[in-house]
Amino acid sequence: MEPNALKGKTCFSAVKGIVPETNQIVGEFLFEHWGVQKNDLGIICGPCHAEEVALERLSYLTIASQDPEKAKLMGDALSGRFLKTTLSDDIYGTEYAAILKNVIAVCSGISVGLGYGDNFRAVLVSRAIQEIERFVTAVHPIDRDINEPAYLGDLLVTAYSAFSRNREFGAMVGKGYSVKAAQTEMKMVAEGYYAVKCVHEINEKLGVDMPISEATYRMLYERIAPTIEMRLLSDKLA
Rounded Cα gap, residues 98 and 191, in angstroms = 10
Cβ burial 204-237 (10 Å sphere, 16+ → b, else e): eeeebebebbbbbbbbbeeeeebeebbeebeeee
Rounded Cα gap, residues 106 and 138, in angstroms = 23
What lies within 8 Å, CB to CB, of 131 at 6+ separation is: 100, 104, 208, 209, 210, 211, 212, 213
CA angle 168, 198, 50 (to 5 degrees): 40
Q: Is 84 a catalytic residue?
A: no
- Name 16's bridge partners: none
What is residue 231's three-state secondary structure?
A: helix
Q: Which of 7, 16, 101, 197 is catalytic?
A: 101
Q: Are strands 41-45 and 11-13 parallel, antiparallel or unpaired?
A: parallel
Is residue 160 within 8 Å of 167, Cβ to Cβ? Answer: yes
Residue 186 is classified by DSSP as: H
Catalytic residues: 101
